[in-house]
Amino acid sequence: MMKRFECLTALAPHIGETVVITNIGGVAIEWQHLHDNDSTFYMWHSLGLATSIAFGMALSWPDRQFLVFEGDGSLLMNLGGLATVAEKAPPNLTVVVFDNQAHESPGGYPTATAGRANLAAAALALGFPVAATVETVDDFQDSVTAALARERLSMVVAKVQTGTQNVPLPAMDARENKYRFVRWVERTRGVTIIPLPGHVSKMRAQG
Amino acid sequence: MMATSPVAEALFAAGIDFAATLPDSWIHQLLLALGADPRCIHVPLAREEEGVGVCAGAWLTGRVPALVIQNSGLLNCCNALTTLNGLYDIPLLLLVSYRGTMEEESFFHVPLGRVTEPVLDSLEIPYRVVTRADEISPAVANATHFMRTSQRPAAVLMTRGSLAQEVQ
């Protein structure tokens, strides 16, 4: 069975200006080593919400591509959230699920995908227009790059083995990541999200 | 005819332009108005906690979000409000119908009334309880301004009396 790190290594040169959101755990550590940049948001501790966060971004910024790295355990926590996403079906969102059939970080306890659960089938049933399962690195890279080019809500479920590559840990905390991400959005979109201290009192809403 | 709601107008006046919602009978009219109005992106949710994530994504990319729910749903959000909004300092307006107080007519909401304010205190989320319709707009404006000054969530708890015009 392929490794997640092999998939990420193959994909990294091909994502262009796509905004990436990562799930908790090894995927964040591996991705920050391979392709850290200002437009990456690392979701460190809210298991189940990575896709919901990426979905909120994709709706709010329709002319950008968004790519979220999910996990099987986290997606199973928030399957209803997939129905919410599918109902709006933002064409600029691709959900990649690294399905290692386990809650790896706390010790490798098996999830339901180690048994009968099929996440791509669940996504299709909940209304995703495109969802497929891949088991080789070549198929992974082809499927994800095709999804990013397709301009249609898509899911790719990658069956991977457990294990995290031994790479340096991130040198940035959550708030630093937020500021870096938000300032990048502000520069790129020409908007103000976190007003500077001298401006905030002038922004008081009339009410 | 398009649904109208004074509470929706208060949200728009305060700058809210993104609303994730789950229904309660008291806020039915408000949700219809939000869903029909191009001034905001409206996301109907399956469960309230996902809405905390959706709203965080919206804020990170330039929107001013509100989560419009009942207080039972607020209890569903405790982990997300702590590990997402609390870890990163991400603001969110929690606009909540406040079930289970002494005005409540349904017995099954009563336990919510006992715990809602202590839970918000424990989550370190400031809140205002509004009891009259004309208090909603200033409370929403204050909460939205607090979101900008603090980068943290703020809650407005709307009692039955404040929603008398909207209750079905």
Of the candidates B45, B53, B58, the beta carbon closest to that of A46 is on: B53
A81 at the B interface (CB within 8 A)? yes
> Residue A13 corresponds to which amino acid?
P
Instruction: Report the run of H or E that residue B106 belongs to, with start and end.
Output: none
Query: Nearest-CA distance from B152 to chain A in Å?
Result: 12
Averaged pLDDT, A54-74:
98
B96 in a structural domain: yes
Q: Contacts of residue B89 in chain A, CB cutoff 8 Å?
A: 175, 178
Asked if A84 lies within 8 A of B46 by C-beta distance, the reply is yes
Whole-number pLDDT of residue A206: 45
Closest B-chain CA to A173? B88
Answer yes or no: is B168 within a domain. Answer: no
B105 to chain A, minimum CA–CA distance in Å? 30
pLDDT per residue as tens digits for the range A119-170: 999 999 999 999 999 999 999 999 999 999 988 999 999 999 999 999 999 8
Q: For A205, which of B46, B61, B141 is closest by C-beta distance? A: B141
| B71 inside domain | yes
Question: Structural domain of residue B141, as residue ranges?
Answer: 6-163
Which CATH number does the domain housing residue B154 bear?
Answer: 3.40.50.970
DSSP for B44-99? E-SSHHHHHHHHHHHHHTT--EEEEEEHHHHHHTHHHIIIIIHHHT---EEEEE--
Q: Which top CATH class is A4-171?
A: alpha beta
Handedness of CA A123, B84, A193, A186 (dihedral sign): negative
Q: What is the pLDDT of residues B92-148, one digit of tens each?
A: 999 999 999 998 999 999 999 999 999 999 999 999 999 999 999 999 999 999 999
Domain ranges for chain A, please list them.
Answer: 4-171
pLDDT for residue B102? 92
Task: Evaluate if residue A197 carries a pLDDT over 90.
Answer: no
Residue B53 lies in a domain: yes
End-to-end CA, chain B: 18
Residue B76 lies in a domain: yes
Candidates B54, B89, B137; nearest CB to A56? B54
Do the beta carbons of residue A127 and residue A74 sit within 8 Å?
A: no
- How many domains does the structure of chain B reveal? 1
Rounded CA-CA distance A118/A112 in Å is 9
Question: Smallest CA–CA separation between A171 and chain B, in Å?
Answer: 16
Contact list in B for residue A80 (CB cut-off 8 A) is 46-47, 50
Q: Which of B131, B134, B93, B98 is nearest to B24 (CA)?
A: B98
Q: Which residue in chain B has the smallest CA separation from A205?
A: B14
Residues of A whose CB is below 8 A from B55: 56
Q: What's the pLDDT band for B1 if we cut at 50, 70, 90?
A: low
- The helix, strand and coil proportions of chain B, stated in percent and rounded to the nearest 5, come to 50, 15, 30
Position B131 in a domain: yes
